[in-house]
Copies of this chain bind each other. A is one copy, B any other.
Amino acid sequence: MVRARGANVAAGPTLAVVAREAGVSVPTASKVVNGREDVAPETRRRVTEALDRLGYVRRPRFAGAPGLVDLVLHPLDSSRSGAVLSGVEAAAYEAGLEVVVSAAPARGRDARSEQGWLDKLTARGSSGVLFHTAEPSAAQYAWLDHHRIPYVLIDPVHEPPAGVVSVGAANWQGGVCATGHLLELGHERIGVIAGHRRTLAGEARLAGYRSALASAGVRYRPEYVRHADSDEAGARLRTHELLDLPEPPTAVFVCSDRMALGVYAALAEREVRVPEEMSVVGFDDLPEARWTAPALTTVRQPLAEMAATALRLLVRMTHGERPEGTRTELSTRLVRRASTAPPPTARPTAYGPVTAQRPTA
């Protein structure tokens, strides 16, 4: 049986062991660890190599010190990240842990800084790392495994390597719910604004859409499927494309609430009324979904709970336990608000061009 990655208990070597291995004294090894300049290049290389090979991690100072868990967030300032942070913090508080937050090392920071981040992690002794959206690089995976620092992925964008523990949402089920809701209302021309291709969530939500159509016996139309860049601007563009179709849809399933904001903007520009002329369903149930006009019907994804679950899994891994499964999915559910209604009876077959271009900043 394959050992779960990142599930080992730390009991690594001391500096003395590393020094012996490298054939130097403890003070010299100490200098290398602390990045002092007064070490011969060849000596530094030998020590670094030993440090690396043995997976050296500085000992936590003493048992009583509160454990530190790392949370890597990307971006730092989004509703999604806020929900994740809040879930992780609450669960960490319960577990007596504290949370160190950092931006994904990728964000405009080079490989050198990525290594710097890893160095800090081991220097201060992290109990484990939680990654949100931003997945670790191959080098990071290797380093973490090597230094026996456990980690869990929260809602990873792509399929993680085998054995990596992750927590996600029931995306396929959510796609089925959203589409099923529109079908029940009587829609048959249902568009989709999907996110990036080849992402876990994107593929699953789209598959849910197709499944729902299929089981309702509604024809799947490729021209109704538009992939956007997961942000408002992309979704806005794709919505215009849907409206330009000879036979535009009467409803759209938008694969994220953020993108739904872009869809709303496009519909406003074309003076298409929601939900009278177009029904819109989002995905995520971010705070803003309550305050759009009209309030957005959406699929609730329990981000905070997912984050809390990830923290708890991480704590168990810290104690040497191995989670039963490698992937945990929390269920999603439809939240009905004001952006969906039965299709217009008149059934317009085309919308005019952009009319009221409002000034924007």
Contact = CB atoms under 8 A, between A and B. Distances in A.
Copies in the complex: 2
Nearest to A75: B86
B89 A101 contact: yes
Contact of A65 (B102, B124, B295, B358): B124
A89 B103 CA distance: 7
A40 interface: no
Interface in A75-124: 75-79, 81-83, 85-86, 89-90, 93, 98-103, 109, 120, 123-124
Contacts of A3: none
A32 B289 CA distance: 50
A34 interface: yes
A82 B78 contact: yes
A95 B142 CA distance: 27
A359 interface: yes
Interface of chain A, main secondary structure: mixed
Interface residues of A, number: 58
Contacts of A83: 77
Interface in A262-297: 262, 264-265, 268, 287-288, 290-295, 297
Contact of A64 (B34, B304, B359): B34
A87 to B, nearest CB: 9
A360 interface: yes
Interface of A: 33-35, 58, 61-66, 68, 75-79, 81-83, 85-86, 89-90, 93, 98-103, 109, 120, 123-124, 232, 261-262, 264-265, 268, 287-288, 290-295, 297, 304, 335-338, 358-361
